[in-house]
Homo-oligomer: A and B are copies of this chain.
């Protein structure tokens, strides 16, 4: 049996390997400046931070370390969102409380120091995020370290930060909503047969067909995100060739449903922890 930090790293590797995963780097597709091997190096580099949260280190600090290690390659941001989901899940698994309730408690017990470390993580790589609500401009994550005095002045916990973002970002929404889609993804992965990375790719497409990807919304607007969702529905009803065509089209147009991939990685982790085997 693998330990939680090992399973988290393996989940990142299985996620990126699953193909076809339309719009994302996968075992068969590279993007122009973001290649499969950047994801391999990102997963390897993240392990130390994942180990730290397994060992009981603070969630924010472990996340910052995981991101620093992940970013130690030339491709830029490969797994920021996935790690943000995995860190509290690893903590929950290490405490033998890997459930929606268990991870909710971890989220609710995050501190101002966790929030400060979360902002520090943005110094390690460029992350695509929306403007924050007007009243929260000084807490804009893109300010990185510069926002920390405001975080401390207002005594904002990491859970509070996620509440600021959970309308626009489905990773934050997982944090404030008991990781509902992550656990759902795990259940779906467990219900399928075959190699785990292929099950991950199938569930990625299921998730994409059910809800617009918030990274696509942020980068290309709601209409495009809706269209991608509808296309994913059609692709699921078609054959493999239709999915491959959809995958090529998204890569060609630079549309990257990265949030859905993050949730897939979280689902793979939960499935591995519950005994799914490679």
Contacts and interface: CB of A to CB of B under 8 A. Distances in A.
Number of chain A interface residues as a range: 20 to 34
B40 A6 contact: no
A220 interface: no
A10 interface: yes
B13 A45 contact: no
Contact of A17 (B6, B36, B44): B36
Interface in A1-37: 1-2, 6, 9-10, 13-14, 17, 27-28, 35-37
Contacts of A40: 10, 13-14, 17, 197, 278
A203 interface: no
A193 to B, nearest CB: 14
Contacts of A195: 35, 37
B47 A10 contact: no
Given A36-B17, A40-B17, A195-B37, A277 B74 contact: yes
Interface string A252-263: 000000000000
Contacts of A17: 36-37, 40
A248 interface: no
Contacts of A9: 44
A13 B38 CA distance: 11
A138 interface: no
Contacts of A41: 2, 10, 278
Interface of A: 1-2, 6, 9-10, 13-14, 17, 27-28, 35-38, 40-41, 44-45, 47-48, 72-75, 195-197, 277-278
25 contacts: A2-B44, A2-B45, A2-B72, A6-B48, A9-B44, A10-B40, A10-B41, A10-B44, A13-B13, A13-B37, A13-B40, A17-B36, A17-B37, A27-B27, A27-B36, A28-B28, A36-B197, A37-B195, A37-B196, A37-B197, A38-B278, A40-B278, A41-B278, A73-B278, A74-B278
